[in-house]
Chains A and B, each alone.
Chain A
Amino acid sequence: MAGQTIPLWEVFIRSRNGLSHKHVGSLHAPDATLALQSARDLYTRRGEGLSIWVVPSNAITASDPSEKGMMFEPTASKIYRHPTFYEVPDEVGHM
């Protein structure tokens, strides 16, 4: 058993303000039950949340940082996706 490593988990917490679960950090735990308990002790000592998700880190598929340009730059030129691109005459008022 020595030499066996304890798996890594990512922790997500939904705070009381109604926003979605947010990544807060990670921890090591042998299984999901202990991961949840450790997450409670480690990341919610001051009422930080009302719900916890723990996800095995190796279950996450991440985008490749070297493909950042290909992935995200095309949106920069699509300014017509933003409301400010369109003109509404002053007489029409707030829209």
Chain B
Amino acid sequence: MYTQALNANPDAGDRTLEDAALVARFQERIDDEDRIEPNDWMPAAYRKTLTRQISQHAHSEIIGMLPEGNWITRAPSLRRKAALLAKVQDECGHGLYLYAAAETLGTSREELVDQLLSGKAKYSSIFNYPTLTWADIGAIGWLVDGAAIMNQIPLCRCSYGPYARAMIRVCKEESFHQRQGYEIMISLSKGSAEQKQMAQDALNRWWWPCLMMFGPPDAASMHSDQSTKWKIKRFSNDELRQKFVDATVPQAQYLGLTLPDADLKLNEETGHWDYGTINWDEFKQVIAGNGPCNRDRMSARRQAHEDGAWVREAALAFAEKRRVQAEAA
């Protein structure tokens, strides 16, 4: 997902040094559905795992503004433009709520941003795909935000208080994102043959990358177990992916569009939609930095950061001047 479990296991070594009684007491609190707060004792590996996950999530929200921002000036109507602008602004807000939550674990904002810009930190693979037509804005809202909602709702009950609270705010705002996207898809699907084709083309390109958003299959996922024990994660990657497929199939049918998967069929026994094989090599390539837009995204982000440097410096200098003046008065 926005937090695709991209990095290796937390160091097992972290745990051996810790007081067994404290660790046991901590796990007890988790098992009792207690929320862990910033100043509470926590295992180093819990802190590390959460810092990584929350900051990856924040980076994803921030980078996620780029593909959609690409279409703000070219939206087909003022209504669509206002909605898209508001949506992209929300994503920025999500990034900021999440950075604030990550910082409560003891890493500064500057360090977190630096990890993104230096390429040390990852962000969701999905934002490394291009938005080629207006229909992509529909597909992103419908599918990417739809997948994000599937993943984020259980995170509202995450054991770490600040993360859970940030996710509650985020979830309240996501529903509009998905609906505005689906509405774009409806308009295109009911439009001219050319417009419907545009919607189908966007769906064809976004479907598989969206399934990859949920992260590696359970069998290959490295640290789900510990995250589940800590109640950071409440459903497995495959469970969430299946929920997403089941929810999306009827929505695509309503649009009269075809999901680009010849193996997709309802399993009468399980009641779920079985889907074809995901191209995990593509996923690995995108995560490794070789997706269609990785370089673009990073250079746009770095450029924005550098271009804003003088503003940050000026604002701090002004605040300092005011402080000195107030002291002298």
Contacts and interface: CB of A to CB of B under 8 A. Distances in A.
Interface of A: 1-2, 4-6, 8, 24-28, 30-31, 34, 41-42, 45-46, 62, 64-66
Nearest to B111: A5
Contact of B93 (A1, A5, A42, A62): A42
29 contacts: A1-B313, A2-B313, A5-B108, A5-B109, A6-B315, A8-B103, A24-B169, A25-B100, A25-B165, A26-B103, A28-B109, A30-B316, A30-B319, A31-B315, A31-B318, A31-B322, A34-B319, A41-B89, A41-B93, A42-B93, A42-B96, A42-B97, A45-B89, A45-B90, A45-B93, A46-B173, A64-B39, A65-B39, A65-B40
B317 interface: yes
A60 to B, nearest CB: 12
- SS class, residues of chain B in contact with chain A: helix
B92 to A, nearest CB: 9
Interface of B: 37, 39-41, 86, 89-90, 93, 96-97, 100, 103, 108-110, 165-166, 169, 173, 309, 312-313, 315-319, 322
Contacts of A46: 173
A24 B166 CA distance: 9
A64 B317 CA distance: 35
Residue with the highest number of chain B CB atoms closer than 10 Å, among A4, A64, A66 = A4
A1 B317 CA distance: 8
B96 A65 contact: no
B97 A25 contact: yes
Contacts of B89: 41, 45
A25 B40 contact: no
A27 B312 contact: no
Q: Which of B96, B103, B108, B109 has the most CB of A within 10 A?
A: B96
Contacts of A5: 108-110
Contacts of A65: 37, 39-41
A59 B315 CA distance: 21
Contacts of B309: 2
A44 B110 CA distance: 25
B72 to A, nearest CB: 17
A41 B89 CA distance: 9
The 4 closest A-B pairs by CB, nearest first: A31-B319, A30-B315, A30-B319, A1-B313
Given A2-B313, A6-B312, A24-B169, 13 more contacts: A1-B317, A5-B108, A8-B103, A25-B97, A25-B100, A28-B109, A30-B312, A31-B318, A31-B322, A42-B96, A45-B90, A64-B39, A65-B39
A65 B38 CA distance: 9
B191 to A, nearest CB: 31
A65 B25 CA distance: 14
Nearest to A66: B41
B71 to A, nearest CB: 20
A40 to B, nearest CB: 12
A64 B103 CA distance: 19
Contacts of A30: 312, 315-316, 318-319
